[in-house]
Amino acid sequence: MSEVDADADADASPEPGSGRADADGPAGAGTATRTAEATGAGGREDAAGDRPLRVEGLAKSFGGITAVDGASFDVERGQLTGLIGPNGAGKSTTFNLITGFIQPDAGAVYLNGSDVTGRPPYELADRGLVRTFQIARELSEMTVLENMMLAPMHQPGESLWRSVTPGPRRDVQAAEEEALERVWETLEFFEIDHLAEEYAGSLSGGQRKLLELARALLTDPDVLLLDEPFAGVNPSLEERLLEHVHELRERGYTFLLVEHDIDLIMENCARVIVMHQGQILADGVPEAVRADERVIDAYLGGDVE
């Protein structure tokens, strides 16, 4: 009995199948286009299909401070791409620029080939680009279940008259039943289903990170931008979170993650982008980036033997 159950569980986790497997390109084929040293698999530069997210010449300054200064990079489909850089390198600003939380002064963001520069966050989420926050921003006075139920896109019950009028409300409830199943499956996948009835505010830091990732997944994203998902997470939970990320990547989700922990990025990402003083310093496979003199000078310092 339980064998079957276990399998069912494994399959039933978020977004069953949905044909993402094909996008799962060969790991490590990260084409290093901007780092001279890196001679990766070469340029499948062609279609937006392989690079769902592309950023060109993004710039933003606050007052006299230039936070992001002409950053250009792209993210490959079905890959884990890491964005690293010292404090103040402009990583978080870049994130906010891509996700529409702040408006760029110059440059463009392309999502699946179309220009989405400066579009509001809700529209980007609708197009499949969803972010998480550096400090897990759970909705603390809402239960874990409510947090999760919030996420699915285009719920019929989000219309005011539908959720009140007796007839249409039945459709609303039917849609909720459907969403609820996915919610529980996702909670089980992330192993936080036992916390379902708890207020999100009473979860531990790591559990909140799990909740946030789980919640983001329910929006059916193509590309997930994770802002320091491992900050303040204990090692065992970090490992669990990483396993989830890898498993999701294998299913075809695309990840861009900002992280401080260089070792973690180097070990887990197929491609690493290094930012420094608002600019892209290096971009390529971890080995190449690790060997890049400028990166060593700017950031890695003595870390590299």
* 228 interacts with another protein by CB under 8 A: no
DSSP three-state, residue 81: strand
Q: Tell me if 133 contacts another protein by CB under 8 A.
A: yes
Task: Quote the least distance from Cβ 212 to another protein, whole Å.
Answer: 9
For residue 203, the minimal CB distance to another protein (Å) is: 8
Residue among 6, 21, 41, 47 that touches another protein (CB under 8 A): 6
Least distance CB 251 / another protein (angstroms): 12
The 3-state secondary structure of 180-229 reads: HHHHHHHHHHCCCHHHCCCEHHHCCHHHHHHHHHHHHHCCCCCEEEEECC
Task: Determine, following the binding rule CB under 8 A, whether residue 27 of this chain makes contact with another protein.
Answer: no
**Smallest distance, another protein to C-beta of residue 117, A:** 17
Q: Would you say 143 or 279 has its CB closer to another protein?
A: 143
Cβ nearer to another protein, comparing 70 with 156: 156
Query: Which residue in 158, 250, 267, 297 binds another protein (CB under 8 A)?
Result: 158
Answer for which of 25, 48, 70, 101 binds another protein (CB under 8 A) is: 101
Alpha helices by DSSP H, listed for the chain, are: 2-12, 91-98, 121-126, 144-150, 160-164, 166-189, 205-217, 235-250, 262-268, 286-291, 293-295
* Selected binder of another protein within 137, 250, 267, 294 (CB under 8 A): 137
Residues 14, 234, 262, 73: is their CA dihedral positive or negative?
positive
Binding region for another protein (CB under 8 A) out of 8-16, 31-39, 55-63, 274-282: 8-16
Separation of alpha carbons 159 and 161, rounded Å:
6
Query: Using CB under 8 A, which residues numbered 161 to 220 contact another protein?
Result: 163-164, 169, 172-173, 175-177, 180-181, 183-185, 188-189, 191-198, 202-204, 206-207, 215-216, 219
For 6, 103, 205, 206, 207, the CA distances from 229, given in Å and listed in that order, are: 27, 24, 11, 9, 11
Candidates 226, 217, 284; CA nearest to 252 is 217
Q: Is 296 in the site for another protein (CB under 8 A)?
A: no
The answer to whether residue 279 forms part of the interface with another protein (CB under 8 A) is no
Measured from the CB atom, is 77 or 215 closer to another protein? 215
Q: What are phi and psi of 119, to 5 degrees?
A: -70, 150
- Rounded Cα gap, residues 44 and 150, in angstroms: 38
The two counts, helices (H) then strands (E), for the chain are 11, 10
# chain residues binding another protein, by CB under 8 A: 79
The distance from CA 65 to its chain's CA centroid, rounded to whole angstroms, is 27
Q: Which residue, 118, 106, 71, is CA-closest to 91?
A: 71
Kindly state whether residue 142 participates in binding another protein, applying the rule CB under 8 A. yes
Q: How far is the CB of 22 from another protein (least distance, A)?
A: 21
The reply to whether 130 sits near another protein by the rule CB under 8 A is yes
CB 56 within 8 A of CB 108: yes
Interacting residues with another protein between 30 and 89 (CB under 8 A): none
